[in-house]
Structure 1
Amino acid sequence: MRRAHLLLTAAASLAVSACVAGPAPEIATPPPELPQSFAFSAAASDTATVAALLPVSDPAFTALAQAALDNGPSILEAAARVDSARARASGAGANRMPSVSGSVSATGTRTNAAQFGDNLPGGFSIDTEQLSYGGTLSAAWDPDLFGRLRAQERSALSLTEAAGADAAAVRISILAEIAGAVIDWRTLSAREDALGEDLVAAESLVALADIRERAGIAPGFDRVRAETAAEQSRSRISALDSQRAQIIGRLVALTAQSGQQVRDALRLLAPGASTPAAPASAPSALLTSRPDVQAAAARLAASDADLYAAAANRFPQLTLSAALGLLTFDTSTLLDDDAIAGSAGGSLLAPLFDFGRIQAQIDSAAADKQAAFQAYRGAVFGALGDAEAAYGLVAAADRELQAAMREEASATRAAELADVRFRAGLANFLTVLDARRVADSSGERAAAARGRAERARVLLWQALGGNEGRIAR
């Protein structure tokens, strides 16, 4: 009868809980529709690689990048977050296993015999001091009949994948920043070289104007104008030092190295400037190559598991438990049969009337999944936009570089012809100064344009998901 009563109670609980039980709501997550190709993409026959977009042949970049990968604060922080996510996933998996605990105790008790009064039966006495010894071994297990714990573990594992993708995104961002800083440093050096050549040419004009003034064949105003052009070149050279200081400060923060160590790396011999071709790629490749897209997809999977776990709260939870204990007042009888006590049982917890609490949790989890899906779509189209812009920027920067190089060649030739005509008495000094001024600015513009073309390739490398190549850990 007692067993039948227990079975009837369990059946009633299941029947009532069935009134609120049901599957998780369906949240549509259709895959985003992407175009077949990029508007500014390179030709399909191009065999260039993504890794070649980085300045991997520059020893300064490889040294600073390796230092950042080994000891950069941001990268180490991201790695610690991955370890934390793995620990949480391990804990979620352990929740599905039985829990076993044990305890031992020794308890002393002293009783006041007066509390029992003076009318005790004859021959009956009270032991007022007792010392008891005990031990207990207990176990409990949730068999997870409806998959709530399994869903929580899936969510934790997905968040671990998201943390790993976030760490990869941090590495790519750091490498892109270092590459950009090194390119900026090399560009400043190229600009300084161009301005140095301009200064030499301007000083030669100063010397020429001074000779002509002393000979009385030219006014002193020509010398003053030539000196002004020389001072302009000196001023522009001096202005480069402030930009160098900013670059060093940025690299110190990224690599966790001292300013002197950064300077030593930047002093390494620079290779020849290069502008590798942009590799061809398909928009769909961004789904597997971009870490931020992978992280968003993993978080979407985690939200789906969270929704399942919330819906599983509608169903009963069965817990099995058992305990084995020892209790004795004398250590010599600790292992006697009379000292052994045990219990075993199970409990069934079912929601009967929660007044909408579980449904509120389900609605919240469903909204979180919708938000995660939109975040995933945002990451996909953000990646698409980054790649489109980067391809367009590379094409525009290449056209600018070609035009700047043609301008530099033409302006230099014009300055040389003006100087020849002046020395032959066929042109005045103002014509020479104007031609020289145009040539001076064109050289610096060409150096800056080359730096922008190289930087555009770093942005494309980052937009396509990056490829650490030889410097990967």
Structure 2
Amino acid sequence: MNNNQTRALGPLGAIMAAALLAGCASYSGIEPQSTLRGAQDVGLTAPASGAPAAPVPALAPQWWTQFGDPQLDRLVAQALEGSPNLRIAQARLARAQAVQELARSATLPQVQGSLEAQRQRFSATSIYPPPLGGSTRELGTLRLGGSWELDFFGKNRQALEASLGASRAAQADVEAARVVLASNVARTYFQMARLQDQAQVAQRTLAQRQESLKLVGDRVSAGLDTTLEQRQSEGAIPEARQQIEALQEQLQLARNALAALVGQTDLKVEPHSLATARPLEVPTTIPADLLGRRADIAAARWRVEAATHDIASAKAQFYPNVNLTAFIGMSSIGLNRLLESGSQEWGAGPALHLPIFDAGRLRANLRGKTADLDLAVESYNAALLEAVRDVADQLASAQSIARQQVDQREAQSAAESAYDIALQRYKAGLGTYLNVLTAETAVLNQRRLAVDLAARALDTQVLLARALGGGFQADPGTLRLATTNTR
């Protein structure tokens, strides 16, 4: 082997020798224990026996506008503009992006400049001979230096990928916070509408009971009823008033909750009747691509990705760390000579660091990163199972409520028919007005039930919209992760 070959193989041979010595610090036996679940593990696949399942249309990003209520649209927009919870998520995203930029900087060359000037007395009994020894001089240094870590084993590259995954997870968290906030505003708004509709029914109930009391009073005066019936009718009136007051209390609490969501303390809003809201289109099956529709699942999957790269970066720390360093500048004793040509200095060369004995620090760090991965995987699995359960629950409730509304409408129709008959008999002199009021009681009960079912239907549609992702639109990278079941 000639001298040129020897010089060329010198740095490479040093690196190889360092890699062998690094075997003293080993990461063997440290492996993740959790397994990532995929769509097929929770039944999110098309039927194997026939054609693929019909796709479920994706929700629009502003799905709440489909209810056809401009007042609701304005409230949601106002909440998304100034919610503290949403701003917290955005601040976390900004922090994650800053960490990503910090990790990126570690993969690039670094350049520093320095200028030093000091006055120093040199020891007369040290290494400096007279006249320097025993004198006091001014020292000056002007230097430009640089370094570049040669990432042979991918430590910095994997750290950058991990920070990118954390940043993407934080971005998905922002989208998830938007969905939750919009759904909470819509649910609270419809809750207020329910209470207002119920208050109207309660007002009519109070009026009906007052009419009934007057009728019973007339019958007592005529000797047709006793004071027992009169006392019973009198007791029904404060009960009706109490129901109205309870509804007003709940309405004010709902208004306060909506004001907190919107970020406006003096919120003045009167929701429209539930009957004016246009229902959302409700799917009949769980979409097979649910994993790519939900921001919370996307965030959990990106955290798994980040934890995977964190482990790779932790393993790379077991190998040598190679840096190239260089500097050029001026140095002199005496500031007046700093810029003279003879004050020039420069240097360049590699620096190699390798772990041989670290008292278990690297293995402990790797065990921690491995535990973080297991935590991220199980968190993702839990989020996936919860998402499937959430959609299944809302679909079951939506379908059941639709059937209940059919039965309730039939019952209300029968009650209204009985009321009409009682009213006609009273007008024809064949029945008493008390029979009319009794028949109206059944109608009012059905109207209360109709309001409750209408409110439940809208609330379930909002919850279903949230369970289906709330209009979250995943990017290609997220969709790739959603369909990947490997680490």
Q: Pick the TM interval, shorter chain.
A: 0.7 to 0.9
Cα distance in structure 1, aligned partners of 2:140 and 2:212: 106
* Structure 1 residue 175 corresponds to structure 2 residue 179: no
Cα distance in structure 2, aligned partners of 1:360 and 1:48: 45
Shift of 1:103: 1.4
User: Which secondary structure does the structure 2 equivalent of 1:284 belong to?
Assistant: coil
Shift of 1:410: 2.1
* Structure 1 residue 443 corresponds to structure 2 residue 447: yes
User: Which secondary structure does the structure 2 equivalent of 1:403 belong to?
Assistant: helix
Shift of 1:249: 2.0
Partner of 1:157: 164
Cα distance in structure 1, aligned partners of 2:463 and 2:132: 92
Partner of 1:385: 389
Partner of 2:289: 285
Cα distance in structure 2, aligned partners of 1:229 and 1:48: 50
User: Which secondary structure does the structure 2 equivalent of 1:327 belong to?
Assistant: strand
1:191-220 residue CA offsets vs partner (Å, 9 max, x unmatched): 112222333333333343444444555555
Partner of 2:196: 189
Contact 2:69 2:277 in 1 (8 A): no
Cα distance in structure 1, aligned partners of 2:114 and 2:67: 61
Partner of 2:270: 266
Cα distance in structure 1, aligned partners of 2:163 and 2:16: 33
Partner of 1:12: 17
Shift of 1:182: 0.4
Structure 2 counterparts to residues 33-44 of structure 1, below 5 A = 33=40, 34-35=42-43
Shift of 1:32: 4.0
Instruction: Decide which of 383, 407, 411 is 2:411's aligned counterpart.
Output: 407
- Structure 2 residue identity aligned to 1:266: E
Partner of 1:351: 355
Partner of 2:246: 239
1:202-239 residue CA offsets vs partner (Å, 9 max, x unmatched): 33333434444445555555554444444433221121
1:99-143 residue CA offsets vs partner (Å, 9 max, x unmatched): 211211221235798x89xxx99xx79884422322122211101
Shift of 1:420: 4.4
Cα distance in structure 2, aligned partners of 1:87 and 1:372: 22
Structure 2 counterparts to residues 45-444 of structure 1, below 5 A = 56-109=67-120, 128-219=135-226, 221-258=228-265, 260=266, 262-263=267-268, 265-266=269-270, 272-280=276-284, 282-354=286-358, 356-421=360-425, 426-427=430-431, 431-432=435-436, 434-444=438-448
Instruction: Decide which of 439, 457, 461 is 2:461's aligned counterpart.
Output: 457
1:36-89 residue CA offsets vs partner (Å, 9 max, x unmatched): 5799xxx95987956657664223321221111111100111111111100100
- Structure 2 residue identity aligned to 1:198: T
- Decide whether aligned partners of structure 1 residues 8 and 396 sit closer, same or farther in structure 2, where only a CA change above 3 A counts: closer
Cα distance in structure 2, aligned partners of 1:417 and 1:10: 100
CA RMSD in angstroms, aligned pairs only: 3.6
Cα distance in structure 2, aligned partners of 1:424 and 1:367: 83
Cα distance in structure 2, aligned partners of 1:38 and 1:15: 51
Shift of 1:298: 0.2
Contact 1:48 1:280 in 2 (8 A): no
Cα distance in structure 1, aligned partners of 2:120 and 2:56: 88
Contact 1:48 1:276 in 2 (8 A): no
Cα distance in structure 2, aligned partners of 1:200 and 1:44: 52
Contact 2:194 2:455 in 1 (8 A): yes
- Which ranges in structure 2 are unaligned for 5 or more consecutive residues? 48-52, 474-487
Shift of 1:321: 0.9
Partner of 2:483: none
1:352-382 residue CA offsets vs partner (Å, 9 max, x unmatched): 2445443343333333323322222221111
Deviating more after overlay: 374-383 vs 159-168: 374-383
Give me the TM-score of the superposition, normalised by structure 1. 0.84
1:401-435 residue CA offsets vs partner (Å, 9 max, x unmatched): 22223222322332343354456565567655543
Cα distance in structure 2, aligned partners of 1:282 and 1:328: 77
- Structure 2 residue identity aligned to 1:140: S
Cα distance in structure 1, aligned partners of 2:23 and 2:155: 16
Cα distance in structure 2, aligned partners of 1:190 and 1:208: 27
User: Which secondary structure does the structure 1 equivalent of 2:444 belong to?
Assistant: helix
Identity across matched positions, percent: 25
- Decide whether aligned partners of structure 1 residues 409 and 161 sit closer, same or farther in structure 2, where only a CA change above 3 A counts: same
- Decide whether aligned partners of structure 1 residues 86 and 47 sit closer, same or farther in structure 2, where only a CA change above 3 A counts: closer
Shift of 1:7: 7.8
- Structure 2 residue identity aligned to 1:242: E
Shift of 1:322: 1.3
User: Which secondary structure does the structure 2 equivalent of 1:413 belong to?
Assistant: helix
- Decide whether aligned partners of structure 1 residues 266 and 346 sit closer, same or farther in structure 2, where only a CA change above 3 A counts: farther
Contact 2:100 2:160 in 1 (8 A): yes
Cα distance in structure 2, aligned partners of 1:389 and 1:202: 40
- Decide whether aligned partners of structure 1 residues 112 and 278 sit closer, same or farther in structure 2, where only a CA change above 3 A counts: closer
User: Which secondary structure does the structure 1 equivalent of 2:469 belong to?
Assistant: coil
Cα distance in structure 2, aligned partners of 1:53 and 1:153: 38
User: Which secondary structure does the structure 1 equivalent of 2:307 belong to?
Assistant: helix
1:146-183 residue CA offsets vs partner (Å, 9 max, x unmatched): 11100000000000111011111111111111101000
Cα distance in structure 1, aligned partners of 2:416 and 2:12: 100
User: Which secondary structure does the structure 2 equivalent of 1:108 belong to?
Assistant: strand
1:248-269 residue CA offsets vs partner (Å, 9 max, x unmatched): 22122212111x2x22x33679
Shift of 1:449: 1.4
Deviating more after overlay: 10-19 vs 63-72: 10-19
Contact 2:120 2:138 in 1 (8 A): yes
- Structure 1 residue identity aligned to 2:281: A
Contact 1:307 1:362 in 2 (8 A): yes
Cα distance in structure 2, aligned partners of 1:335 and 1:251: 71
